Structure 1
Amino acid sequence: MFVGGFATFAMVYGPQPLLPLLADEFGIGAASASLTVSAAAAGLALMLIPGSVLADRIGRRQVMMVALGIAAVLACATAIAPDFGSLLVLRALLGAVIAGLPAAAMAYIGEEIAPNAQARAMGLYIAGNALGGMSGRFIAALITDWSSWRIALAVIGVLGLASAVLFWRRLPPSHHFQPRAATPARILRDTLAIYRDPGLPALFLVAFLAMGAFVGLYNFLGFRLLEAPYLLGQTAIGAIFLLYLVGTWASTLSARLADRHGRHKVLWIMVVVMGLGLALTLARPLALIIAGVGVFTFGFFAAHALASGWVGKRAGERRALGSALYLSSYYLGASVIGTVAGTAWGAGHWPGLALLLGACVLATGAVALYLRRLPT
């Protein structure tokens, strides 16, 4: 599951540091270039619920294996896209196909891992997401400095293929999966039950706002650091994505804190950490900007690990659909807020962007405080 999470984030977010290059290559603005990431996130958001329904019907393992394999082939194909429109179509298809893995992953962990180890298992899966996102971005930036963005995307695709082979060979079969009829009536009934829960819709809102702020920050960080007074190269900008290692640590640490103190007592604190990191990025010295991005990354991955694990607990037997709704909100936030952030960047550069992202973090904090008052 760690490898599956790694490959998903590497393929979906690998092109993120290349956005300034794509803007120059195709003669488009920053907001349009960000659609390269947003298209994949939108495909993910739209197909997560169908993916969860399919996983309920035919099995978690089968859906995850097929999704990862086809997505890796599509990732390779993006390297030969003839124009920006074709690139966006391939990226959207990649996101739609890879949705099968995260749609089934949380349900698989909930069914196959012992209850007293689920928080740690979820933390390890989220850590794979963080390491994949970091590695994909760093590798893409590094190779682009040596060669071209097309070669970089090809290497990300090959990395996805290698991950798919390892995933197919090592993922244990399901022992506790029980098929559920994928009828419209059952899906509607389960959806209504999920939205009647006092906590689940709030957790979906946390996913939308937090992920949107996170992607918005990283989408336009490269644009800022390419400009004066920083004038950093692609490799240097890609190295900043090594801060994802902080996210790997944060997701496992937050799981231990949740086991000890409860998710409701830890989540809002991690949102405050995100806010502090964002405030630091407003400073001019490069060291403070990097420190702020690191603090923000820590808070985000900790909050995501807490919220996603909480969804599985609250959704019960509907955990597959609950997880899909959570992740749909998560990737919809990446697509919508990540793209709107381009308008904020164009209007006010980094202060304008920070204002928008700060509003998202404040709203996330308000929701986390509401969740803190709910009975466990």
Structure 2
Amino acid sequence: MIQIRTRAWWRATLALSLGSFLVFINLYAPQPLLPELREAYGVSTLAVGLVMSVATLALAASLLVFGPLSDAIGRAAIMRLTLLAAGALSLGLSLAPSFEVLLVLRGLQGFVLGGLPAVAIAWMGDEFEPSAMLPAIGLYIGANSLGGISGRLVGGAVGEVAGSSASFLAVGVITQVGLVVFWKLLPTARGFVPRRFELRGAARDLAGHLRNPLLLAAYLLGGLNFLIFINQYSYLTFRLAQAPFELGPSVLGLVFLTYLGGTLGSSLSGRLARRLTPPACMMLGILILMGGTLVTLAGSLALIVLGLTINAFGFFLAHAMASSWVGRHAGQARGSASALYLVFYYSGASLGAFWLEPFWQVGAWPGVALASWLVLGVTLAIAAWLWRRQRP
């Protein structure tokens, strides 16, 4: 087993963090381009949001495939091959002739992007000692936020200069180069014990996880938190593209630097977990997210950016804790348990626009804030329930 802060630990953590970075740079590159794409294709706010939603929904569906499959055939090959396909599809997106083709390719890309998130934490569970796992997960999830930032920065900056096709091309090239490094860095798995893949057995594992209240609570918490967090950014791009801000795609991409607050939050999660229980950390993260949403109601761009940074810190703190909670409380079939958490997580992202859109239409950004607090109140109650369960 790999011990904490050894050479093997750093190599494996760096490889998985790089893979995570590549996944999220592909997933989120189109987000700052949504106002421009809405105008270019003459579609509604809800319709153009499908550029993000179809990818995250397909990603969620793929986790039900890759998680159980990895328990049978191993994790490394799945991570490598799906990253290769994701980069190739980014190159294909740069040639998409219509909005409909763009959505189809984004759906395919979302599916293959699920390969690494479905199995990375399960790979850690197989190979790392328990004490080495939590700090590695914190760094891995921090790379999620860095990938999300970079995707939006590249998407916005390149898109404003050369158009959306050039943005997809740039991301595709970055992915293929990064894949070479990932391929060489990832150590050979030694702790993996294959299980014969049986559809009935996989379904039984998934059903068993859903019947475990400690896991189901974490699934709901992660999915509902992400439903709010990621879709807030989409609606803020519409808000900031309008008067009085009237920001262009490249500047909208810079707004996503607020994700660095999430990098800090996930990186500190391991230290906080030594002082507070994981459910208490989840509660703290949700309360911070609720407070950051309040700050975004200000009319000042600086305060909006501050509010987003606070949101990112709180969200990723809660997310890191919920992810590690699943890894520690799944008695068997860790791959499918982690995958099921991410199914809820990305399903929430896909469905968020349908929840927030009516509030946006009626109340603009204050309506989105109200909708956010309603859902976050539910996740705070879930975290409090976990805290009471763990307290004895």
2:233 to 215, 218, 223: 218
Q: How far off its partner does 1:340 sit? A: 3.5
Provide the identity percentage.
39
Is residue 34–residue 342 contact of structure 1 (8 Å, CA) maintained in 2? no
Task: Find the aligned partners of 1:81 and 1:176 in 2 and give their Cα distance.
Answer: 42
CA offsets, 1:49-96, max 9 Å, x none? 111121111110011111111111011111111111100110010011
Q: Name 1:138's counterpart in structure 2.
A: 153
| 2:110 is the counterpart of 1:95 | yes
| 2:99 is the counterpart of 1:84 | yes
Question: Which residue type is aligned with residue 206 of structure 1?
Answer: L
Describe how 1:114-263 pairs up with structure 2 within 5 A: 114-263=129-278
- Please say which of residues 30-39 and 139-148 is displaced more in the overlay: 139-148
Structure 2 runs not aligned, ≥5 long: 1-15
1:268 to 263, 270, 283: 283
| 2:372 is the counterpart of 1:357 | yes
CA offsets, 1:311-365, max 9 Å, x none? 0000032211110110000000000113432343233211121121221211111
Task: Find the aligned partners of 1:339 and 1:141 in 2 and give their Cα distance.
Answer: 25
CA offsets, 1:132-155, max 9 Å, x none? 000010111111222211111111
| 2:311 is the counterpart of 1:296 | yes
Question: Which residue type is aligned with residue 153 of structure 2?
Answer: F
Q: Name 1:37's counterpart in structure 2.
A: 52
Q: How far off its partner does 1:264 sit? A: 1.9
| 2:384 is the counterpart of 1:369 | yes
SS of residue matched to 1:374 = helix
- Please say which of residues 192-201 and 242-251 is displaced more in the overlay: 192-201
1:16 to 20, 24, 31: 31
Is residue 22–residue 175 contact of structure 2 (8 Å, CA) maintained in 1? yes
Is residue 208–residue 332 contact of structure 1 (8 Å, CA) maintained in 2? yes
Q: Name 1:333's counterpart in structure 2.
A: 348
The count of corresponding residues between Structure 1 and Structure 2 is: 376
1:70 to 67, 72, 85: 85
Question: Which residue type is aligned with residue 264 of structure 1?
Answer: P
SS of residue matched to 2:333 = helix
Q: Name 1:28's counterpart in structure 2.
A: 43
Question: Which residue type is aligned with residue 137 of structure 1?
Answer: R
| 2:322 is the counterpart of 1:311 | no
| 2:62 is the counterpart of 1:47 | yes
CA offsets, 1:145-197, max 9 Å, x none? 22211111111111111221111111111100111122123123222321232
Q: How far off its partner does 1:198 sit? A: 2.2
Question: Which residue type is aligned with residue 127 of structure 2?
Answer: E
Is residue 280–residue 384 contact of structure 2 (8 Å, CA) maintained in 1? no
Q: How far off its partner does 1:216 sit? A: 1.1
Is residue 206–residue 336 contact of structure 2 (8 Å, CA) maintained in 1? yes
- Please say which of residues 344-353 and 319-328 is displaced more in the overlay: 344-353
Task: Find the aligned partners of 1:265 and 1:341 in 2 and give their Cα distance.
Answer: 28
Question: Which residue type is aligned with residue 290 of structure 2?
Answer: G
Does the C-alpha gap of structure 1 residues 347 and 154 become closer, same or farther in structure 2, counting only changes over 3 Å? Answer: farther
Q: How far off its partner does 1:281 sit? A: 0.8
Is residue 35–residue 88 contact of structure 1 (8 Å, CA) maintained in 2? yes
Is residue 4–residue 167 contact of structure 1 (8 Å, CA) maintained in 2? yes
Question: Which residue type is aligned with residue 339 of structure 2?
Answer: A
Task: Find the aligned partners of 2:230 and 2:288 in 1 and give their Cα distance.
Answer: 17
Task: Find the aligned partners of 1:16 and 1:218 in 2 and give their Cα distance.
Answer: 8
CA offsets, 1:103-126, max 9 Å, x none? 111100111122111100001110
Is residue 344–residue 352 contact of structure 1 (8 Å, CA) maintained in 2? yes
Task: Find the aligned partners of 1:172 and 1:373 in 2 and give their Cα distance.
Answer: 39
Does the C-alpha gap of structure 1 residues 340 and 265 become closer, same or farther in structure 2, counting only changes over 3 Å? Answer: closer
- Please say which of residues 226-235 and 201-210 is displaced more in the overlay: 226-235
Is residue 71–residue 333 contact of structure 2 (8 Å, CA) maintained in 1? no
| TM-score when normalising by structure 2 | 0.93
Task: Find the aligned partners of 2:275 and 2:194 in 1 and give their Cα distance.
Answer: 34
Q: How far off its partner does 1:9 sit? A: 0.8
Task: Find the aligned partners of 2:211 and 2:261 in 1 and give their Cα distance.
Answer: 35
Question: Which residue type is aligned with residue 168 of structure 1?
Answer: W
Is residue 209–residue 215 contact of structure 2 (8 Å, CA) maintained in 1? yes
Q: How far off its partner does 1:287 sit? A: 1.4
CA offsets, 1:215-242, max 9 Å, x none? 1101111111111111122222111111
Is residue 36–residue 249 contact of structure 2 (8 Å, CA) maintained in 1? no
SS of residue matched to 1:199 = helix
| TM-score when normalising by structure 1 | 0.97
CA offsets, 1:279-298, max 9 Å, x none? 11111111111111110111
Structure 1 runs not aligned, ≥5 long: none
Q: Name 2:121's counterpart in structure 1.
A: 106
